[in-house]
Amino acid sequence: MTGDGPNGARTTRILHRQIAGSDQLPIAVSGQGIEIIDKTGKVYIDASGGAAVSCLGHGHPRVNAALKAQIDQLAYAHTSFFTTEVAEELADHLVAHAPGDLDHVYYVSGGSEAMEAALKLARQYFMEKGEAGRVNFIGRRQSYHGNTLGVLAVGGNLWRRQQFAPLLFNSYHVSPPYAYRDQRSDETLEAYGERLASEFETKVEELGPETVIAFVAETVGGATQGCTTAPPGYFKRIREICDRHGILLILDEVMCGIGRTGTLHACEQEGIAPDLMAIAKGLGGGYQPIGAVLLSDRIFAAIRDGSGFFQHGHTYLAHPLACAAALAVQKTILEENLLGNVQKQAAHLERRLKERFGNHHFVGDIRGRGLFWAIEYVTDRGSKTPFDPALKLNARVKREALARGLACYAMPGTIDGKAGDHNMLAPPFICTSQDIDTIVERLGDAVDAAIQSIT
């Protein structure tokens, strides 16, 4: 069933997320460094590492060698029978560099699974403590924590939730940080952060603190919010409110974590530590599917000293190949000082984006942190009016970028019309300043071409 479509596209039997048009997808055949090469030999800069996944780029010799060595030794052993050295070594490494007292690790195979496990750990923690009345999660509107039913319930993205809403357990949502649209002209960023935190506390009081399990948030909003950072002081206030009411704080660092924002964990820059934290994409860097929940001593101890059994589990948890890849990725990030490069290139990326789009008629906001940046499109900078969602501007930019040898993440605006289309950059940590120049140049051309096609 091989087709001769553009870029070697083939008729596909795979149920791709976006079914329409999936026969036009180029066939990726190899990858090296920041580039992916398709079947026709066309080269693409992987400028968002897929969905902020490929933090080391492709074909990294150290990770490849670790995977080859592990597969010759042991590919799989079920965790109800065995632990493995590689899983233990990875856990030691993660805990040694974790914030606060996140001294324990629960492995899964990806981000949604990590967030599901975090929700269940939080609920079981209160069951062990005899607080069965804690049944509510408070998340944030617009947020995304994965596509499985539990985390979809806690997430706040209307488009992803709407078909499944009748199947989801009840949960509550407060406003996310979104300074571009929601900060009032007469308030400072700090006051805006304070207002958001107060909204959370009001919700806690409304529900009754004794009914609330946890507050759930991405430290830096990613896939549905476009690299939105929290106002200074916001997370400190959230932490205080959680502590005052005995509520857990669950941070989703699936996308923004593991070096993406310039520190190993994004919450380090907020000066707080959560009780549970999900990590995934940059953990295995795309070399293997892996995610993890880091959990605090008190949660671990409550379960160990209580039922002694976490009522959960997946067949592939602590998969040796996944752990081997993740260990090699994690050691490479630290030993090759890639966090230093993220910080250095972050400043360059910010500057180049602002030079290219700062006065662009149709770009309303340029925001992000580290190597994690998004641009949001508007029809008019004064009124901040989003483009008509039916025009699918984000997808047009993605298509124009691919044609120019640039793969960059596309995000539709919200279905309630409160946010515009975005495109996101999350280049690998190994990128150079020249790579960034090329990325921004190609993105600029793609944006202009896409906008020209609809105006």
Residues making contact with ligand PMP (CB under 6 A): 51, 110-112, 115, 144-146, 218, 222-223, 252, 254-255, 280
Which of 222, 285, 212 is closest to 253 using CA atoms? 222
Residue nearest to ligand PMP (CB): 111
Whether the Cβ atoms of residue 372 and residue 426 lie closer than 8 Å to each other: yes
Both tokens of 416, joined, read 């309630």
Whether the Cβ atoms of residue 257 and residue 277 lie closer than 8 Å to each other: yes
- Min dist CB 114 to ligand PMP, Å, is 7
Alpha helices in 169-226 (DSSP H): 179-182, 189-207
Task: Return the number of the residue (54 or 438) whose C-beta is nearest ligand PMP.
Answer: 54
| Residue corresponding to tokens 């488009």 | 159
Q: Which residues of 392-405 are buried (b: 16+ CB within 10 A; e: fewer)?
A: bbbbbbbbbbbbbb
Both tokens of 358, joined, read 């700062």
- Min dist CB 146 to ligand PMP, Å, is 4
Residues 6+ apart with CB under 8 A from 31: 37, 46, 57, 58, 59
Determine the longest span between alpha carbons in the chain, in angstroms: 64
- Min dist CB 227 to ligand PMP, Å, is 11
Task: Return the number of the residue (8 or 289) whose C-beta is nearest ligand PMP.
Answer: 289
Say how far apart CA 148 and CA 152 lie, in whole Å.
Answer: 6
Whether the Cβ atoms of residue 290 and residue 53 lie closer than 8 Å to each other: no
Task: Return the number of the residue (141 or 442) whose C-beta is nearest ligand PMP.
Answer: 141
Task: Return the number of the residue (352 or 367) whose C-beta is nearest ligand PMP.
Answer: 367
- Min dist CB 360 to ligand PMP, Å, is 26
Task: Return the number of the residue (39 or 160) whose C-beta is nearest ligand PMP.
Answer: 160
- Min dist CB 49 to ligand PMP, Å, is 12
Task: Return the number of the residue (251 or 436) whose C-beta is nearest ligand PMP.
Answer: 251
- Min dist CB 255 to ligand PMP, Å, is 4
